[in-house]
Amino acid sequence: MTHPDGRVLFVKGIWTEEVGRFRVSDRTKSYETAELVSLDERSSDRVTPPCPHVDTCGGCPWMMVNEEAQARAKEQRITFLLDKNGIAVTERRPLLRSPDFFGYRNRAQFKTDGKQIGYVSEGTNVLAPIEDCLVLNPPMRKLFQELRHALPQTAWQPTGRFPWSYLDVDDQQTLRDVVPNRRLPFRQGNTAQNEQMKRWIAETLKDVSRNVPLIEAFCGSGNFTQALVSAGFKQILAAEVRGSALEELRAKNMPGVQSLEINMNEKTVWPQLGRQSPQARVLIVDPPREGLEERAGLFESLPQLEKIVYISCEPTTWARDLKDFQKSGWKVAHLTPLDMFPHTPHVEILSLLTR
């Protein structure tokens, strides 16, 4: 929202081109927020959210507009970042929408005080109890009801500095498997979209010789590694920090895969990878939201690189990294946005970079 004096304010619960009355609720040096007092002109994209918890939970801030509007806004966000950062794209493909607008999430992190269960209200530490969650897939909704009906649970009461414990849960678990305050290895939260991502990788690298050495950084437990093996690649160096994900990757014992325990935020990471796979022609990276925090030495250490597949869950850090890549003579050959989480501003980027 733009204030009459020119300030830009962040307002929860409104959509583009809507008109209303607002109250400035918070002021900081970097941004300002406002709260909606009354909505005078509503967007034609508005719908009635089907979830009774949408205003307290805060996990689905875009549920008040239709699917077309959400997709359009995600496309516009990518366009804005490309223009702002001067990033040229040879081929831009349309947003890959989630096949399921509701009922797609295969995992979640619930919060509980041992008596109630739900999420935490946005921007607070306050537990927002819920009775159901419409974005969970059917097995997850069933498991959530089992968790809810298992209350009260003394073992789930908070013991730390927060007034709740967390329950990391996915659709491969039963009630007996759920342990409070224990993190599960990372897993893409939308199964159908994860399959689209793996198909995209295979299609993007279809013209690459299967004997070419590949490096997969931030490989996790081998989600995309498996797609590369299934596509026929025979020399894959899969790099990940020490932990349960790397142990899970190694347990899969995939042919042609060499695992490497490495911290991708170390200043010497690229020289180390270069020594392990000096002839690598393709680099696949899927970093966390922080992006490639260590970029120095990448191209000097891997001089044979011809392609970089950069998958990002945070377009802002992707754009930051691409500005550096462009200075080294790389360009975006094609880009595909992907909607991993409908009803949220989140959008993934699937991109292929070439020299």
How much is the average pLDDT of 58-78? Answer: 96
- Per-residue pLDDT band for 6 (boundaries 50, 70, 90) equals confident
133, 143, 183, 188 from 59: Cα distances, Å = 10, 19, 20, 17
Based on the domain organization, do 172 and 195 belong to the same domain? no
Answer yes or no: is pLDDT of 344 > 90: yes
How much is the average pLDDT of 86-95? Answer: 97
**Phi, psi (5° rounding) for residue 168?**
-80, 120
Please report the pLDDT score of residue 31 as a whole number.
Answer: 63
- Percent with pLDDT over 70 in the chain: 97
Is 50 a domain residue?
no
Based on the domain organization, do 145 and 33 belong to the same domain? no
Is 21 a domain residue?
yes
Weakest mean pLDDT among 96-100, 106-110, 262-266, 338-342: 262-266
Please report the pLDDT score of residue 227 as a whole number.
Answer: 96
- Per-residue pLDDT band for 350 (boundaries 50, 70, 90) equals very high
What phi-psi label fits residue 218: left (phi over 0), alpha (psi between -120 and 50 degrees) or beta? left
Is 207 a domain residue?
yes
- Per-residue pLDDT band for 28 (boundaries 50, 70, 90) equals low
Sign of CA dihedral 244, 310, 212, 193: positive
Note if the bond before 342 is cis, omega within 30 degrees. no
- Taking only the tens place, the pLDDT of each residue in 233-268 is 999 999 999 888 999 999 999 999 999 999 999 999
Please report the pLDDT score of residue 17 as a whole number.
Answer: 86
Give the Cα separation of 258 and 117 in Å (integer).
42
- Taking only the tens place, the pLDDT of each residue in 168-212 is 999 999 999 999 999 998 899 999 999 999 999 999 999 999 999
Give the Cα separation of 57 and 257 in Å (integer).
42
In sequence order, the 6+-apart residues with CB closer than 8 A to the CB of 135 are 59, 60, 102, 103, 104, 105, 341, 342, 343
Active-site annotation, residues: 313
Q: What is the CB neighbour count within 10 angstroms for residue 8?
A: 9
Based on the domain organization, do 349 and 213 belong to the same domain? yes
β-strands 236-240, 257-261 pairing:
parallel
Is 60 a domain residue?
no
Q: What is the CB neighbour count within 10 angstroms for residue 29?
A: 5
Give the Cα separation of 223 and 195 in Å (integer).
10
- β-partners of residue 118 are 111, 129
51, 78, 95 from 71: Cα distances, Å = 20, 11, 7
In sequence order, the 6+-apart residues with CB closer than 8 A to the CB of 4 are none
CATH number of the domain bearing residue 306: 3.40.50.150
- Per-residue pLDDT band for 11 (boundaries 50, 70, 90) equals confident
Cβ-contact 267, 296 below 8 angstroms: yes
Cβ-contact 9, 37 below 8 angstroms: no
Please report the pLDDT score of residue 190 as a whole number.
Answer: 98
Cβ-contact 103, 136 below 8 angstroms: yes
Please report the pLDDT score of residue 10 as a whole number.
Answer: 79
Please report the pLDDT score of residue 33 as a whole number.
Answer: 79
For residue 120, the enclosing domain spans 107-177
- CB-based burial of residue 148 (10 Å sphere; 0-12 exposed, 13-18 middle, 19+ buried)? middle
Based on the domain organization, do 255 and 315 belong to the same domain? yes
Answer yes or no: is pLDDT of 27 > 70: no
- Percent with pLDDT over 90 in the chain: 84
Number of folded domains that form the chain: 3
Is 325 a domain residue?
yes
Based on the domain organization, do 168 and 245 belong to the same domain? no
Is 51 a domain residue?
no
Is 259 a domain residue?
yes
245, 299, 355 from 88: Cα distances, Å = 35, 20, 13
Is 128 a domain residue?
yes
Based on the domain organization, do 88 and 194 belong to the same domain? yes
The amino acid present at 230, given as its one-letter code, is S
Based on the domain organization, do 303 and 249 belong to the same domain? yes
**Phi, psi (5° rounding) for residue 67?**
-65, -40
Residue 211 is classified by DSSP as: T
Q: What mean pLDDT value characterizes the chain?
A: 94
How much is the average pLDDT of 133-162? Answer: 96
Higher pLDDT, 28 or 75: 75
Based on the domain organization, do 219 and 261 belong to the same domain? yes
- Taking only the tens place, the pLDDT of each residue in 293-338 is 999 999 999 999 999 999 999 999 999 999 999 999 999 999 999 9
Give the Cα separation of 305 and 314 in Å (integer).
24
Q: In what order do the strands lie in the sheet with 107-112?
A: 127-129, 117-120, 107-112, 165-170
